[in-house]
Homo-oligomer: A and B are copies of this chain.
Amino acid sequence: MIVGIIMAAGLGTRVGTSIPKQFVKLCNKEVFLYSLESFEMCDAIDACLILVPQGWKEHVEQATSEYSKVQWILEGGRTRHDSSLIALEFLKDFKVQIVVFHDASRPFLQVSLLSRIANEAKVSGAVTTAVPSHDTLAFVEKGKIAGYAEREKLWRIQTPQAFKFERAFRYFKEFSGTDGTQPFVEAGQSVVKIDGDPLCFKITDFSDLMIANLICSHWDAVLGFIS
């Protein structure tokens, strides 16, 4: 079984909305439902588990009542890592081969990318999507530039990320990290990078939310452009 794990437990308020950004409505549909729909439509995915903030379980149950692959809705932990572990612990009694983690605040997830990463994980065991960094990256200290990072080698890590379940469970218990690839890297394991999608950006601040709103109002046209 290949299980999608939707990370929707964050309280991210930097975006300036009164509720967590993944539950804000874009074109009359909550942010987290966009990528969930891609999981629903993806043949490679068998079931979904959604991690939600304390107190949001009932809301998410109602909002996803018509999504047939949503099997489990769990309250997440204090950090992204804690939430991931809650999901993996819960899944250990099921026959899960691959887990595909995805940030609920990245709504524009293409089904083809999801299939690709699930298949790649079967081969390599641990895969992340990433996009190149086009801007110059500088270290800033006390409000001034203190040096530069080698942009050519630096990639912006995105989700989806997919892992063989047994390995993820082992390394996530042993090592922590702000990103899902980190426990593998800490354990000295390979994590393969495949090309992500610039459109699969994370909604973080208010202009991201505005851009996302523009994209969703033209999502059919956008899909026409890129496919």
Contact = CB atoms under 8 A, between A and B. Distances in A.
A156 B133 contact: yes
A130 B198 CA distance: 19
B148 A135 contact: no
A207 B179 contact: no
A55 interface: no
Given A147-B185, A185-B147, A193-B143, A134 B202 contact: yes
A124 B204 CA distance: 30
Q: Which of A141, A153, A204, A206 is the most central at the interface, judged by chain B CB atoms within 10 Å of its CB? A: A153
Interface stretch (A20-28, A60-68, A70-78, A208-216): A208-216
Interface stretch (A1-9, A93-101, A218-226): A218-226
Nearest to A145: B191
Contacts of A205: 134, 198
A157 interface: yes
Copies in the complex: 2
A156 B139 contact: no
- Chain A's interface size range is 35 or more
A99 B47 CA distance: 57
A84 interface: no
A128 interface: yes
A136 interface: yes
A192 interface: yes
Contacts of A140: 130, 153-155, 193
A149 B182 CA distance: 12
B211 A207 contact: no
A108 to B, nearest CB: 9
Given A138-B157, A153-B139, A182 B148 contact: yes
Interface of A: 128, 130, 133-141, 143-150, 153-158, 178-179, 181-182, 185, 190-193, 197-199, 202, 204-208, 210-211, 214-215, 218, 222, 225-226
6 contacts: A136-B157, A137-B154, A137-B155, A138-B193, A140-B193, A206-B226
